[in-house]
Structure 1
Amino acid sequence: MDFDKILEEIGDFGRYQKIKYYLLCLPVFFAAANSLSYVFTVGHQHYRCLIPECESAETAHYDTNWLPHALPGEIQLDGTYKIDHCNRFKPIVNGSKYFGETCSVLMFSKETIKCNQWVFDKSSYTIAEAWNIVCEENKWKLALVGTAHFAGVIVGSLWMAFGDHLGRKITLILATFFMSLTGIGQALSTSYEMFVTFAFLNAVGLSGIYPLAFIMGLEMVGKTKRGVAGIICNYFYSIGVALLGVMAYFYTNYIVLQLLISIPPMILFIYYWIIPESVRWLLAKNKNKRAIKIIEKAAEVNGTKISEETLKNFRELEVAEENSSANKRIDESKSEIFPALREMLTTPVMVLRILILLYNFAVNALIYFGLSLNSVSLSGNKYFNFVLVSLVEIPGYYVGLLAIEKFGRVPTFSGAMFICGITCALCGYADVLWLQIALFLIGKLGITCSFSVTYIHSSEMMPTVIRSSCIGFFATMSRVGSLASPFAPFLEIYYKPLPYLVFGFLAFVGGILYLYLPETLNRKLPNTVEEAMRIRFQADLNGETPLNEKVTKPE
């Protein structure tokens, strides 16, 4: 059964698909917030040494006018005094004596000693204060949370294999519930070790949500609407990240913030009764009766009629399913995935395409997360910068949507990568603040555009029977790239613009390699490896489909 032809009859993006599609985007919204929450839960919190000769631990304030008398530091160009966080001047008086929050320079020598108690800035509350993670020797503990997160994201790619075997819907629901439960566990953790464990598990859950929802949305619409479906899903991701920044501004306690983004997704277990399974997956698994029911419901809601020829095909499929044994169906469903993978990995053309996609997924993630994480280090308000860098993704997605429908997937991706590469390289040498921020935002816009395109394009090149597994494999490689992103700033040690130059070079190479891939604009999704292989290199957009079927564009 050709599902693309059926969609032409019942509506390729009708009312039924729109309702279900927007519902699918809700888990993406919450997954986005959870994916970067560690930026604030583990974020930098100002602290200094407690001076027991001058203050008590119960009433101490972070900012006081006598700090230069008790703490070593240096005066900045703007006149502020930058203190040493972990050392203090040795007191001249014997023992600890509290002088009523009044300190004199005469009370301290110029000899420094290590602190053993700290005073934190109360404008925010992070795990640094919760478990006294202070000073250079403990910074690795904060970095380890990010490492655990990205390690969990890599492990979470296994959800995609479950999506091909168990079904898209049930796997999405399980991943969402798991993310919600472990996010609550993060907030209620009673030790650092417990928090890191739940951070890892939370990442395992959220990593399956976006690709599963993305594939389900893509598989329920016609070939002329796949670009729109893919991009709108990304809007929800960007808004989720931006809203995280807004909530972090108002709720500076990491426990409250984590609960706010983790509790609401618990309600999405009701999707089991209101979201349909992917029809393409059901047809690929020979579950024809369930697929036909969903198609008939979609036609009813969309106010369209199914042709007699299609109804006849439905009856034939129902008879075929009844005549096949349950055991045979189970055996077939188990055996479909691995032969398809083996066939694809023994074909040089498909292997080369996969390698190009793997490189670009990794590079896109490296640059995307590298720029996102560095946004809070830009001059100005860290919350405003985070929200601004998140919202610039929306025009990036919109530009991508317009471009992929006008010029195609390949030219749009390569063009976006070239723009990102040039602006990143220039950003490294920009010494004017407004110019640096402008180049930074243009680079983020470009990488956002390319990241959204590669998900759509790769999904259109992979066969239905292993599409979820392939996207999971590509997503795993992107997580390897994101795992390296926190280390990019360390390249500044060798040469200050080096991180941006590396981003620019990798993006430029990716854009060139991508030109080798075939165009898929307005072409039907391949169901088998053979159909995927027959997608021609740089095919004529107005010509024939891989299956010699003319593409009819809507008026």
Structure 2
Amino acid sequence: MEKHKDGVDLDSILAELGQFGRYQMLTYCFIIFPILFSAVYNGQYIFAAADLNYRCKVPQCESSPPEFETGGWGVWAFPESGGRCEKLRPIDHTCTADAFHVNETLRCTSWIYERNHTIVYEFDLACEDWKRTMVGTVHSVGLFAALPLTSFVSDTFGRRTAFILTAVSGGVMGLIRSFSPNYIMYLVFEFLDATLGSGVYSTGFILALEMVGLNRRVLGGNLISCTFAIGQVVLALVAWAIPDWRTLTRVLYAPSLLFVFYYFVIEESVRWLLSKNRKAEAARIIFKAADMNRKKLSPESVKQLTQEEEKAEEPNVEILPNTEEKKKPSLFLTVIKSKILMSRLCICSFWWITVTFIYYGLSINSVALAGNSYVNYILTSLVEIPGYFISVITLDRFGRKRSIMTAFIICGLALISLPFIPTGLQWLLTSLTMLGKLCISMAFSSIYIYTSELFPTTARHRMLGVCSMFGRIGSIAAPQTPLLMAYMASLPYLVFGAMAGCAGALMLLTPETLHMRLPDTVEQAEKIVAMSRNKHPSDIE
């Protein structure tokens, strides 16, 4: 174990505290609630901007008040397309079978809606599906913008500060959005909601795991992932009970204002405090955790936490003006010059685009499946949980490549087969969709680990960040996939399946990293493919 620059061996101290004691459990109990709400806010637009049944308004035929059902006159007033966006041109102002041209149509300018609970009715978005799907795209763009903003606040002002700010800010933006008088204001605050509030997941994840022992990080990570899945279930249940988008938004977002009180109950990350040379605060939290966990720290650990670091007096050394320092090549140039690392970066980026595109695409399109849209969304959310646990089991038993490749291939086959299933077999259609979501959830949780193992320590964080940023392309494009149904009902699933198959095939071009230590240098990362399973990279010459 390496000691921190303050002389504190935090990993050893955490082992003495207990891998997952009472203090960690209490911390998790507080953290999982904002993360649950982050899942709710991440998917609320799927129901708030859901499509509605509507038809063209035909003034001379409408009852008072107008009703969605035509009562039979729609047969001669609407074309064969059904009268959703076009109607037959009237000859006169009567409503009879011979009062409309048979072959001439008009573009509708007003509509009658079957229901009035989404923004499609509120802002009159009939026959403008791109405006409806744009809500999801704007939300995903906000997620992209949140990456640098949240990381800056977290690294500069602390994990706890970033966690509380993002948890509360999202609630404020959502409540303001619920009073939107027009479509533009709705989009603006949808973007601000995602930009200011979506970072609660990443900061909560870091805050939770930085206080958990090494042997419980996988468990801790899966608990948070499962909480996110449960949050999606909560969203569907509440939306089912409260369909009106304004009321739904207020009910979902109002509780977030209470997270401001977390300032008094959540402690800062000890690792962050030590990185900022705030050793006394870190020691106070560690002693508090030891007391709650009923653990006694060793004298050596207590000494590390309480003793001031001795600063050796450095001798004065005259620096010669002609002394030349060896300049290290920039990380960017090093990666660019390495064909192997550039190839991996491109492949990993495609994986990240694929998993985000399919993951969010299946969630969004689940409400368009036959049957109850709320039940479909609940099923696609719950099926993620076994996917997360399967990834934990298979990654260490069968290896990274085989596990992730199998997940991609099964996902692709399940989704590509959907167009060939008879419409009468609804249970089979739903089952294949659930299988696809399970496999892509498994791949999503696994690809994060595998990507980290393919790059050297000197470039790992940045390369992972690049892949994550490319992954946002998939989440930005996913809300637009329902538009493909206008050409073919199963076209989104064919695209999902094809991308999953390609991602699985690309696994053949990367090395296995099971039981291998993380490479520290570019040279070691390039030689991963030549290493034996249990040797350290430095052993390979």
Normalising by structure 2, what TM-score? Answer: 0.82
Give, in whole Å, the separation in 1 of the partners of 2:39 and 2:380.
14
Aligned residue in 2 for 1:294: 285
Q: How does 1:346-365 map to 2 (within 5 A)?
A: 346=334, 356-365=347-356
8 Å contact from structure 1 (residues 156, 205) kept in 2:
yes
Distance 1:166 1:428, change over 3 A: farther
**What is the root-mean-square deviation in Å for CA atoms of aligned residues?**
3.8
Greater Cα shift, 407-416 or 487-496: 487-496
Identity rate of aligned residues, in percent?
32
Q: Which residue matches 1:13?
A: 20
Q: Where do residues 140-289 of structure 1 align in structure 2 (5 Å cutoff)?
A: 140-158=130-148, 159-289=150-280
Asked if structure 1 preserves the Cα contact closer than 8 Å seen for 2:73 and 2:96, the reply is no
Q: Judging changes above 3 Å, is the alpha-carbon distance between structure 1 residues 178 and 219 closer, same or farther for their aligned structure 2 residues? A: same
For the residues of structure 1 that align with 2:249 and 2:515, how far apart are their CA atoms? 40
CA deviations on 1:434-472 (whole Å, 9 max, x unpaired) are 333222211110111121233456678899999987765
Name the CA shift for 1:43/1:216 in 2 (closer, same or farther; >3 Å).
Answer: same
Partner of 2:66: 60
Matched to 2:241, the amino acid is F
The 8 Å contact of residues 518 and 537 in structure 1, kept in 2 or not, is answered as yes
Residue equivalent to 1:25: 32
Distance 1:461 1:505, change over 3 A: closer
Show the 5 A alignment for 1:65-464: 65-69=71-75, 71-74=77-80, 83-91=82-90, 93-94=92-93, 104-105=96-97, 108=100, 110=102, 112-122=105-115, 124-135=116-127, 138-158=128-148, 159-316=150-307, 318-319=308-309, 346=334, 356-404=347-395, 406-407=397-398, 411-431=402-422, 432-455=425-448
Alpha-carbon shift at residue 281 of structure 1 (Å): 2.3
Q: Does 1:499 align with 2:495?
A: yes
What amino acid does structure 2 have at the position aligned with 1:59? P
Query: For the residues of structure 2 that align with 1:189 and 1:204, how far apart are their CA atoms?
Result: 18
Number of residue pairs the alignment of both structures matches: 509
| Separation in structure 2 between the aligned mates of residue 88 and residue 277 of structure 1, nearest angstrom | 62
Q: CA deviation at 1:354?
A: 5.3
On the 8 A contact 1:425/1:503 being kept in 2, the answer is no
Distance 1:107 1:200 in 2: 48
SS for the counterpart of 1:225 is helix
Equivalent in the alignment of 1:326: none
Specify every segment of 5 or more residues in structure 2 that has no aligned partner in the other structure, as ranges: 4-8, 314-326
Contact 1:230 1:456 (8 Å CA) reproduced: no
CA–CA separation in structure 2 for the residues paired with 1:352 and 1:161: 29
Residue 516 of structure 1 is matched in structure 2 by 511
Indicate the residue corresponding to 1:476 in structure 2.
Answer: 469
Question: How far apart are 1:13 and its partner, in Å?
Answer: 1.1
What is the deviation of 1:491?
Answer: 6.4
Q: Supply the AA of the counterpart residue of 1:437.
A: T
Q: What is the TM-score normalised by the length of structure 1? A: 0.80
C-alpha displacement at 1:230, in angstroms?
0.9
Paired residue secondary structure (2:417): helix
**Cα distance per residue 1:252-290 (max 9 Å; x no partner):** 111111122211112112222222222222223332222
Q: Structure 1 residue 139: deviation in Å?
A: 2.7
Code of the residue aligned with 1:133 in structure 2: it is: L
CA deviation after TM superposition for structure 1 residue 302, in Å: 0.8
CA distance in structure 1 between the partners assigned to 2:228 and 2:526 by the alignment: 30
Query: 1:20 Cα shift?
Result: 0.6
In 2 relative to 1, CA 238–537 (structure 1 residues): closer, same or farther, beyond 3 Å?
same
List runs of 5+ in structure 1 lacking aligned partners.
Answer: 75-81, 98-102, 324-338, 549-555
**How far apart, in 1, do the equivalents of 2:293 and 2:458 lie?**
27
Question: Hey, what's the Cα distance between the residues in 1 that align with 2:68 and 2:376?
Answer: 25
- 2:167 touches 2:197 (CA, 8 Å); kept in 1? yes
Q: Offset at 1:423?
A: 2.5
- Quick one: structure 1 residues 488 and 112, their matched pair in 2 at CA, closer, same or farther if it must change by over 3 Å? closer
Deviation at 1:500, TM superposition (A): 3.9
Task: Give the Cα–Cα distance (whole angstroms) in 1 for the partners of residues 458 and 521 of structure 2.
Answer: 12
Indicate if the aligned counterparts of 2:87 and 2:105 stay in contact, CA closer than 8 A.
Answer: yes
Shift of 1:364: 0.9
SS of structure 2 residue aligned to 1:12: coil
